[in-house]
């Protein structure tokens, strides 16, 4: 597996990161602890070194499973976790206040059986807390050696840029990684975030690269999934980010048909083609594969050696291109300037 630098952090991570959101939830929606530990071992044996978890995954059980699995191998791993969402019933058990960030990190360290995490993400914006409060708390944790670097997830573009400006103003550690939903069927972030991250030296770390499993090729237009064993699309509410109703569109089926054509031509799987498309983007440092089974892991790992020809990348870009809204359409028509 190839290695890449995470933004300008100096951290070197494998091009595929192992997401652990469903570890500890148990089948059919998740992965039981024994199978999860085996998946982590297999991933590390395949050359991966980037493990991604969060304090709220499986109510904290995901962090415990990861901590148990990497005992004795901690130095081999770039370990990432997150803080922001509710971890208790109290009013201060959520958010990005200094209180919750510091308390959340301490609790994560206990579950992970380590004295530090390499990367701490702010899981989403907190409208109740001044971002300076959050960034100062994170900077103090870096200074204390409990956090190596900080990342951002699910902020708006202006919120991310404001955060960077505040960090620069006070000389605090700035975000080095950005975790956002990005796939052939969800390209919303491309209007702002790819350029933003590229110019600011932030490594993009896409999550849900297969569109909640849609791009794996196991679904058909006339067969709506209804059983939990068929994957997340079968059980998510209609308004969820990865709901079936968001995937069951004419555009998405056209994308999947193109993925299938390329997969057949290259002797690859649907998942490998979809992952390779993301890995071809220069700003992407590592793609999170959120596998539930060993078979899914083995399939996804095959993307590490797959290089899509330029023509196939262009074909996927074209079939999945999102509508160009204002002001981006205006800028493309009238904003070009040459010396």
- Give helix 98-112 / helix 61-69 axis angle, nearest 10°: 40
The residue to which tokens 């004419």 are assigned: 250
Strand partners for 149 = 119
3-state SS assignment for residue 31? strand
DSSP conformation class of 190? G
Among 264, 302, 274, CA closest to 210 = 274
Q: How many CB atoms lie within 10 A of CB 221?
A: 12
| DSSP secondary structure letter of residue 22 | T
- 3-class SS of residue 88: coil
Q: Phi, psi (5° rounding) for residue 82?
A: -140, 160
Total residues belonging to the chain: 339
Radius of gyration of the chain (CA): 20
Indicate if 43 belongs to the active site: no
- Name the residue among 29, 9, 8, 76 with its Cα closest to residue 213: 29
Residue found under tokens 């078979």: 295
Count CB neighbours of 269 within 10 A: 19
Q: Which two tokens stand for residue 326?
A: 């204002």
Instruction: State how far the Cα of 160 lies from the Cα of 11, in Å rounded to an integer.
Output: 21
Catalytic one of 43, 57, 180, 219: 57
Q: Assign 44 to helix, strand or coil.
A: helix
Residue in this structure with the two tokens 């901690």, named with its chain if needed: 74
- H/E segment holding residue 176: strand 175-179
List the catalytic residues: 57
């Amino acid at each position: 597996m190839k290695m890449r630098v995470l933004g300008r952090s100096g951290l070197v991570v494998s091009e595929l990161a192992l997401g652990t959101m469903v570890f500890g939830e148990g089948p059919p929606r998740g992965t039981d602890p024994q199978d999860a530990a085996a998946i982590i071992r297999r991933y590390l044996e395949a050359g991966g070194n980037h493990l991604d978890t969060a304090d709220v995954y499986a109510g904290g059980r995901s962090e415990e499973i990861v901590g148990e699995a990497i005992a004795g191998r901690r130095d081999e791993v770039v370990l990432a976790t997150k803080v922001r969402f509710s971890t208790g019933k109290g009013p201060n058990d959520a958010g990005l206040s200094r209180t919750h960030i510091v308390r959340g990190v301490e609790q994560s360290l206990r579950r992970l059986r380590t004295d530090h995490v390499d990367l701490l993400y702010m899981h989403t914006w907190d409208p109740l807390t001044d971002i300076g409060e959050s960034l100062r708390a994170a900077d103090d944790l870096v200074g204390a050696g409990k956090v190596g670097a900080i990342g951002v997830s699910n902020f708006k573009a202006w919120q991310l840029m404001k955060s960077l400006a505040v960090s620069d103003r006070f000389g605090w550690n700035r975000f080095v990684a950005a975790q956002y939903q990005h796939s052939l069927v969800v390209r919303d972030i491309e209007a702002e975030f790819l350029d933003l991250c590229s110019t600011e030296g932030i490594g993009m770390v896409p999550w849900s690269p297969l569109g909640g499993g849609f791009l794996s090729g196991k679904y058909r237009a006339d067969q709506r999934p209804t059983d939990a064993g068929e994957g997340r699309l079968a059980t998510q509410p209609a308004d969820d980010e990865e709901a079936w109703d968001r995937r069951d569109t004419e555009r998405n089926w056209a994308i999947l048909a193109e993925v299938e054509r390329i997969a057949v031509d290259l002797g690859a799987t649907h998942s490998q083609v979809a992952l390779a498309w993301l890995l071809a983007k220069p700003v992407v440092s590592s793609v999170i594969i959120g596998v539930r089974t060993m078979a899914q892991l083995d399939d996804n790992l095959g993307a590490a050696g797959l290089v899509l020809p330029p023509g196939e990348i262009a074909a996927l870009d074209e079939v999945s291109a999102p509508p160009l809204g204002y002001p981006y359409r205006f800028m493309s028509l009238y904003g070009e300037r040459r010396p």
